[in-house]
Amino acid sequence: MKSGKWILRRGLMIVLALMLLVGSAVGEAAPTEEPVLTAPAYPYQTVTRVSVNLRASRSVRSTLLKRIPEAAEITVNAVSGSWAEVTYGKYSGYVLKEYIVVKKIVKVKVTPTPTPVPTLSPEEDAGGYTTLRRGDSGTEVRALQLALIEMGYLTGKADGSFGAATENAVIQFQRTNDYPVTGIVDANLQAFLYAGKPKNAEGTAKKINALSPVSGVTMRKGNTGDAVTALQERLKELGYYAGELSGTYDDATVKAVKAFQKKTGLTADGIAGRDTQDALASGGALKADETLTPAPTATPTPAPTYAIPTSAVKRDSEGDEAKTVQKRLKELGYYRGNVDGKFGYASVSALKKFQEANGLEADGIAGKSTYELLFSDSAKRAGETATPEPEQTAAPEAVPTIAAPTAVSYGVLRPGDGGDAVALLQEALIALDYLEGKADGNYGEQTRAAVRAFQRNNGLTVDGTAGEETMTLLMSGQAKAAVTPAPATATPSPIPKATAGATATPAPSESEGVLRRGDSGSAVKTLQTKLIELGYLTGRADGVFGADTYQAVVSFQQANRLTADGVVGEKTQTRLTSGSAVGASSGDKANATATAAPTAKPVTVTKPTASQVIYANWYTTVKAKAKKYPYCTVYEPGSGISWQIHIFSLGAHADYEPLTANDTSRLEKVFGGNTWNPKAVWVIFADGSVYLASTHSKPHDVQHITDNNFPGHSCLHFPRTQEQVEAIGPYATSHQQTIDAAWASIH
């Protein structure tokens, strides 16, 4: 019986095959392929081809949740293998993808609308501060102490010396304001202190009156600090202020500022902003009893005979030598004050203007080089233009120049900027040997270091920002090129230590025995040679302390159980030149068990390399790291832009907030605004480790930092298993897919 059925079935199959052949022979059209449907991302809407079973998991044996009818509308959240994760009404589960219309994910490249970067005031821009710690001294420490006294953390007098009492006050401030308790005041903490609303010793958040020590800060009634004292001093010199130099912006100071503003044609609001401060600092500032008259045409006259000073004259100098400098500056039209032998604010300002006009370093200190020109017949008067150089028949080889745009004004370029203007800046720096590589249009740490080196070598203010003065000189064809370093020798000379005598060829800050990012010169070159020898740095020793050198120093310090701050002080130098320095080889690293660094503010490693990036599970590895180092740096490799954050919640992912408004602007610049779309990033923790993650830029829900222009928080997703992200939901899955794609591109 079974044999008969088999024969019958076999016969039917043969008949069907013959029918198909006949159909083909008479020209039956082959079935057309369905058009490929696309979607930009998950989730997307589609329909079922036939009636299909919705299962609880990816198995035909799993629980049947719902029977979905043919042509029903469903949402596809993800596709993996032969299964699709879908939602139908209130039901979510899995269906075999062959029974639904599957779309191909084709990401549409959208050019984001650039988000304007907010202009930061000097006090809220963290780029204007240097880190302060025990043992430091100066005006920045004094400003810090005034702020701590005002808030009730410190008692006594602001003496400008960072001692034990100041350190304890800083620790109390950090504890009250939920900052890492280190006793060290970094740039971000200072920006928060002066521009935010820190909590005082009683726990009340309010803006303080103590002024930031950075230049250009707007002063108004109630403010205190050295800048107010300097303002009062200048107003007194001009005859507008008769009170004490109290350092407090009181009613008398407001009245004096208003009188000066009215006399000068400025808005008489009593607030000393940038325009008012510039007018006061000008050598042509009007005195209270003076009327504006046209300046007579300057007639060149031989310089009078003076007893040229033998010692340097600078701020707060007093005596006959200071009076001599004032008198000469007044003759040349730079100084309008009293020749009283008291070298104050107006005198320093006039001296700087003379130095700048005569091609000297405008440091406000009258030394030998300044005296040689100041008391000579060739000293330029205020407002005098330079005489063109005579043409030379045999001109030296020209320094390479870059074709500049037709517009004369270049604007201001600073770290974090991007575009054609930055590329133009980089091309000029490359042509003058301050920068290596290609012009990528991203103003990162290497570009900033190159700008600083250019400014230092050309007598400009060294701030790493390419302003009008820097750009004009850079494009002029008259700028000094970088000195090309000689090849590294096989036996490097030892790194100079901080000694009583100067080194043979001192570079900036060598006199202090300290090297840090932004420095350049022979000592930096020697440092780099040693780091190359120990395996922490690759390439050649170029004498410029940039991001790569900084990271190499941090790595060396970590391996050698030193404070990993990237600053080469005496301890680091001593260890580098010792015979027992731990190298970067795997054997040395295995023997180096560096002690864990205390929780600290983010290590600003602006440009890590792909080889540093670690792919690690959030639950088993990264979560503990984030708990230990909640302040970290996020770096987006595509743009080269980084921003600093504080992680405050550790659940299935990390919740974080940008630290400042500047950090928010960088985050939004990367994403082109506020969006939920994930993007792969590298997270740099305070111990220097770099982990792969994914984030978005959409502020939502809880907010702690209220002055960062980010009304909520964002999320950091680190790698998790497929089962873990599926248990959370489709959005977690999309972050995991972003991370995996980035990891694949790295390797």
Give the H/E segment covering residue 73.
strand 73-80
Q: Which of 125-134, 184-193, 585-594, 731-740 has the lowest mean pLDDT?
A: 585-594
Q: Does residue 137 lie in a domain region?
A: yes
Burial class of 311 by CB neighbour count within 10 A (0 to 12, 13 to 18, 19+): exposed
Q: Can you name the residues that pair with 345 across neighbouring β-strands? A: none
Q: Confirm if 139 and 160 have CB atoms less than 8 A apart.
A: yes
Which pLDDT belongs to residue 31?
Answer: 42
Q: Does residue 573 lie in a domain region?
A: yes
* Whether residue 541 sits in one domain with residue 652: no
| Residue 582, token pair as written in the block | 């731990």
| Average pLDDT rounded to a whole number, residues 335-347 | 77
Say yes or no to pLDDT of 583 above 50: yes
Torsion angle defined by CA atoms of residues 231, 232, 233 and 236, in that order, rounded to the nearest 10 degrees = 130
Q: Confirm if 625 and 685 have CB atoms less than 8 A apart.
A: yes
Give whichever of 4-13, 41-50, 339-348, 467-476 has the largest mean pLDDT. 41-50
Which pLDDT belongs to residue 408?
Answer: 36
* Whether residue 678 sits in one domain with residue 560: no
| Average pLDDT rounded to a whole number, residues 151-176 | 92
- pLDDT interval class at 428 (50, 70, 90): confident
For residues 646 and 642, give the distance between their C-alpha atoms in angstroms, rounded to a whole number: 14
| Average pLDDT rounded to a whole number, residues 158-181 | 90
Which pLDDT belongs to residue 105?
Answer: 87
CATH of the domain at 615: 2.40.10
CATH of the domain at 96: 2.30.30.40
Say yes or no to pLDDT of 454 above 90: no
| Residue 442, token pair as written in the block | 């991203």
Which pLDDT belongs to residue 597?
Answer: 34
Proportion of the chain above pLDDT 90, given as a percent:
24
Q: Does residue 178 lie in a domain region?
A: yes
Give whichever of 164-168, 451-455, 625-629 has the largest mean pLDDT. 164-168
Amino acid at 125: D
> Alpha carbon of 568 to those of 123, 162, 554, 558, 572: distances in Å?
28, 20, 9, 13, 5
- pLDDT interval class at 23 (50, 70, 90): very low
* Whether residue 154 sits in one domain with residue 51: no
Q: Which residues of 647-669 are buried (b: 16+ CB within 10 A; e: fewer)?
A: beeeebbbbbbbbbbbbbbbbbb
For residues 281 and 173, give the distance between their C-alpha atoms in angstroms, rounded to a whole number: 36
Q: Does residue 621 lie in a domain region?
A: yes
| Average pLDDT rounded to a whole number, residues 591-603 | 36
- pLDDT interval class at 476 (50, 70, 90): low
Which pLDDT belongs to residue 18?
Answer: 54
* Whether residue 632 sits in one domain with residue 524: no
Which pLDDT belongs to residue 14?
Answer: 58
φ, ψ at 636 (rounded to 5°): -105, 110
| Average pLDDT rounded to a whole number, residues 161-178 | 91
* Whether residue 583 sits in one domain with residue 515: yes
Say yes or no to pLDDT of 118 above 60: no
Tens digits of per-residue pLDDT, 36-92?
A: 788 888 999 999 999 999 999 988 888 999 999 998 999 999 999 899 999 998 899
* Whether residue 227 sits in one domain with residue 182: no
| Average pLDDT rounded to a whole number, residues 715-733 | 86
For residues 85 and 78, give the distance between their C-alpha atoms in angstroms, rounded to a whole number: 5
Q: Confirm if 164 and 173 have CB atoms less than 8 A apart.
A: no
Which pLDDT belongs to residue 605?
Answer: 42
| Residue 488, token pair as written in the block | 């590294």
Which pLDDT belongs to residue 8?
Answer: 58
Q: Which of 168-177, 306-315, 366-375, 381-390 has the lowest mean pLDDT?
A: 381-390
Domain-terminating residue out of 259, 291, 323: 291
* Whether residue 191 sits in one domain with residue 67: no
Q: Is the CA virtual torsion 277, 279, 282, 285 positive or negative?
A: negative
Say yes or no to pLDDT of 510 above 70: no
Say yes or no to pLDDT of 422 above 90: no
- pLDDT interval class at 241 (50, 70, 90): very high
Burial class of 412 by CB neighbour count within 10 A (0 to 12, 13 to 18, 19+): middle
Other Cβ atoms closer than 10 A to 267: 12
* Whether residue 672 sits in one domain with residue 740: yes
* Whether residue 242 sits in one domain with residue 322: no
CATH of the domain at 273: 1.10.101.10
| Average pLDDT rounded to a whole number, residues 114-122 | 63
Which pLDDT belongs to residue 746?
Answer: 81
Domain count, the chain: 7
- pLDDT interval class at 211 (50, 70, 90): very high
For residues 640 and 418, give the distance between their C-alpha atoms in angstroms, rounded to a whole number: 9
Note if the pTM is more than 0.95.
Answer: no
Q: Does residue 624 lie in a domain region?
A: yes
Cα end-to-end span (Å), the chain: 64
Domain-terminating residue out of 383, 401, 434: 383
Q: Confirm if 692 and 739 have CB atoms less than 8 A apart.
A: yes
**List of residues 6+ apart from 740 with CB closer than 8 A:** 719
Domain-terminating residue out of 323, 349, 383: 383
φ, ψ at 125 (rounded to 5°): -90, 110
Say yes or no to pLDDT of 389 above 60: no
Which pLDDT belongs to residue 733?
Answer: 87
Question: How many residues does this entry show for the chain?
Answer: 747
Say yes or no to pLDDT of 483 above 80: no
φ, ψ at 145 (rounded to 5°): -65, -40
Q: Does residue 423 lie in a domain region?
A: no
Which pLDDT belongs to residue 257?
Answer: 94
Which pLDDT belongs to residue 220?
Answer: 93
- Expressed as residue numbers, the domain containing 533 is 510-591
| Average pLDDT rounded to a whole number, residues 155-179 | 91
Amino acid at 635: Y
Mean pLDDT of the chain: 78
Q: Which of 238-252, 422-436, 487-501, 555-569 has the lowest mean pLDDT?
A: 487-501
| Average pLDDT rounded to a whole number, residues 623-640 | 87
* Whether residue 278 sits in one domain with residue 312: no
Proportion of the chain above pLDDT 70, given as a percent:
79
Amino acid at 131: T
Which pLDDT belongs to residue 602?
Answer: 42
Give whichever of 14-28, 510-524, 714-728 has the largest mean pLDDT. 714-728
- In eight-state DSSP terms, residue 610 is G
Q: Does residue 188 lie in a domain region?
A: yes
Q: Is the peptide bond before 496 cis (omega within 30 degrees of 0)?
A: no
For residues 178 and 195, give the distance between their C-alpha atoms in angstroms, rounded to a whole number: 17
Say yes or no to pLDDT of 599 above 70: no
Q: Does residue 414 lie in a domain region?
A: no
* Whether residue 729 sits in one domain with residue 630: yes
Which pLDDT belongs to residue 579?
Answer: 75
Say yes or no to pLDDT of 186 above 70: yes
φ, ψ at 356 (rounded to 5°): -65, -45
**List of residues 6+ apart from 444 with CB closer than 8 A:** 415, 547, 606, 607, 640, 641
Give the pairing type, strands 104-105 and 91-96.
unpaired
* Whether residue 621 sits in one domain with residue 571: no
SS3 state at 261: helix
Which pLDDT belongs to residue 249?
Answer: 94
The region that residue 712 occupies, defined by phi over 0 for left and psi between -120 and 50 for alpha, beta otherwise, is left
Tens digits of per-residue pLDDT, 532-542?
A: 888 888 878 88
**List of residues 6+ apart from 254 with CB closer than 8 A:** 221, 270
Say yes or no to pLDDT of 391 above 70: no
> Alpha carbon of 588 to those of 461, 537, 538: distances in Å?
42, 15, 18
Say yes or no to pLDDT of 5 above 90: no
Give the H/E segment covering residue 84.
strand 83-88
Tens digits of per-residue pLDDT, 344-364?
A: 767 887 888 888 888 888 888
